[in-house]
Amino acid sequence: MKQNIKNKMIILCGGKGKRMGLITKNIPKPMIKIGKVPIIEHKINFYKSQGINNFYFCLGYKSKVLRKFLLQKKIKKESFSDKGEKPGILKRIYFLKNKINEPTIISYGDTLAKINFKKLISSHIRSKCIITIVVAPIQNPFGLVKWDSKGRATTFEEKPILNHFIGYAVIDSNFFKKINNKMINLSDGKGVVQAIKYLSKKKLVNTYKFNDLQITINSPEELRYAKKNYNKYFTI
C-alpha cells in the first residue's frame, strides 16, 4: 500500500565514481545497470512505491547521459540542477535551497535502502532538529585497536559493529542558515562532514536508526555483490 508522502527528494548524481574504474568511463555511476535497469531507475521505482513523486536531481559527471535517460522516463527538465563537476555535495544541495521549503529527503545516487520514509519524516519532525541522518549498524571487517601515548595497545575489539551514515538524510528549510559559506564551498563530501560535526555540537542532528536491507555501490566488488543479490534489494 502506498504511503502519501508530500515531501521532496533530492538525489545526488554528480560524482565521478573513481573507484569504479572503467565501469564509469562513459556513464555516471547511477546509470550502472543492476539486472536489466540502471541503479537510478531502481531508486525512483522504490521511492514512487512510497508515494514520493517530487524529485530533483543534482547532476555533474556525464550529466548529458543521465539527463537523456531521465527525460525518457518522463522526468521534467526543471527537476535537473547541473552546475558541472566542480561543486562539492553540500554546494550541489545549496543550489536547490529555494526548493527546500519543507522537510526534504536527501539521497545519494549510488545507495538504495528499504527505508520507510513516512517514519523517517515523522522522526525528523518530532526531533525538532535541523537535519536527520540515517544510520545503520555495519560490522567492521577489521579489529578495532586503541592505544596510549606510548603506542601500547589499551583495547582490542574484534570486528566491532559500528553505526554508519548510509547516505540518506532529511533537512529543514533553514538548514543553510545554520551553517557557514566555508562549509558549503568545501569539495566532495567534506562540507557534509563539517556541517554534521558542527550541528551535532549544537544538538541539532537527529539520527534515524535503520537495520534492514541496504547497499551502497562504491566499488566493483560491491557492484558484483549487488548484481548477485539484487532481488533482495531492488524488488519492491
String of b and e for 41-79 (b: at least 16 CB within 10 Å)?
bbbbebbeebebeebbbbbbbbbebbbebbeeeebeeeb
What lies within 8 Å, CB to CB, of 55 at 6+ separation is 8, 9, 10, 11, 44, 47, 75, 79
Of the candidates 208, 191, 194, the one whose C-alpha atom is nearest the C-alpha of residue 133 is: 208
Bridge-partner residues for 138, per DSSP?
A: 162
The CA–CA distances, whole Å, from 152 to 97, 142, 145 equal 49, 18, 10
**What are the domain boundaries of the chain?**
9-134+165-229
Per-residue pLDDT of the chain (236 residues; tens, 9 = 90+): 444 445 789 999 988 788 888 888 999 999 998 888 898 998 898 888 888 889 999 999 999 999 999 999 888 888 999 998 899 999 999 999 999 999 999 999 988 888 999 999 999 999 999 999 999 877 666 778 888 888 888 888 877 666 777 889 999 999 999 999 999 999 988 999 999 999 999 999 999 999 887 778 888 888 888 888 777 655 54
Give the global pTM. 0.86
Cell of 214: 541496504
Q: What is the CA radius of gyration of the chain?
A: 18
Looking at domain 9-134+165-229, which of 3.90.550.10, 3.40.710.10, 3.30.1380.10, 1.10.3720.10 is its CATH number?
3.90.550.10
Smallest CA-to-CA distance from 52 within 143, 121, 135, 131 is with: 121
Q: What is the pLDDT of residue 15?
A: 82
Q: What is the pLDDT of residue 235?
A: 55
pLDDT of 1 reads: 43
* 3-state SS assignment for residue 70: helix
Query: Whose CA is closest to 61, among 20, 24, 91?
Result: 24
